[in-house]
Amino acid sequence: MTLGLLSAGSVPAAAATVAEAFIADNIQKGLLILNDRQLTEADRADQFQRLLLSLTNTRRIAIFTLGQYARTAPQADLEEFVAAFQDYSIAVYRSYLGRYAGQTLKVTGSSQRAPDDFIVTTTMVDPNDRSGRQPLEVDFRVRTDSGRPELTDFSVLGIWLALSQRDQFVAFLAQNKGDVKALIAHLRQTAAQYR
């Protein structure tokens, strides 16, 4: 999927600054939590979960990842899926960000996709890396249509997590006759493996 980003000159400075500040402040908080070895593993997990839930609209992302199956799933199955997806997402995000222990996040800019939709470009800076390699670019999609900034997706090496999950989940559902309960069980099992 092409993001079709507008040029940086078309982004209102205040809007871009809000999205950039949201990412700079909050993703750095997440990295600090994950890197804080003074916390017990349980405390680290709890603090990261609370932070992540305050930054994202997991329901919105969960429904998105179901693709066309979201329209036909029974409401009870949707609610159970959203809960399982939330648990799964926390495990996945923690795993992804945990790979960058000791690194810091540097916002390098943002682009506007729509009046309430931004891509914030960052790099992970490793203060101990002397290899001369380019820092890893991590992009974050921030939506502001709910009245406050919310993280809705992120990309590492050009792969957007929610888009990738939607492709995987829709393929899983197609192979399992659209059985959302089977996907819920799969997510719970996968989340347990990430821990």
- The answer to whether residue 126 is domain-embedded is yes
The CA distance from 45 to 3, in Å, is 32
Percent helix, strand and coil across the chain, each rounded to 5?
Answer: 55, 20, 25
Q: Which domain does 26 fall in, by range?
A: 11-194
- The answer to whether residue 183 is domain-embedded is yes
Say which DSSP state 101 is in.
T
- The residues pairing with 122 across neighbouring beta strands, listed in sequence order, are 107, 138
- The answer to whether residue 149 is domain-embedded is yes
The CATH number for 108's domain is: 3.10.450.710
In the three-class reduction of DSSP (H, G, I as helix; E, B as strand; rest coil), residue 54 is classed as helix
pLDDT of residue 14: 52
- 183 neighbors 172 (Cβ within 8 angstroms): yes
In the three-class reduction of DSSP (H, G, I as helix; E, B as strand; rest coil), residue 180 is classed as helix
pLDDT of residue 11: 40
Q: What is the pLDDT of residues 117-161, one digit of tens each?
A: 999 999 888 878 778 788 888 899 999 998 899 999 989 888 999
- The answer to whether residue 1 is domain-embedded is no
- The answer to whether residue 4 is domain-embedded is no
- The answer to whether residue 6 is domain-embedded is no
pLDDT of residue 41: 80
Contacts of 37 (CB under 8 A, 6+ apart): none
Tell me which residues of the chain have a pLDDT lower than 70: 1-16, 101
pLDDT of residue 127: 79
pLDDT of residue 86: 92
pLDDT of residue 22: 93
pLDDT of residue 4: 30
Residue with tokens 């495990």: 91
CA Rg, the chain, in Å?
17
How high does pLDDT run on average in the chain? 85
pLDDT of residue 1: 30
Return the beta strands (E) in the chain as ranges.
Answer: 104-114, 117-125, 136-143, 150-156, 159-160
- The answer to whether residue 91 is domain-embedded is yes
- CA dist 42 → 46, 50, 70, 84, 93 (Å): 6, 12, 33, 19, 16
Domain count, the chain: 1
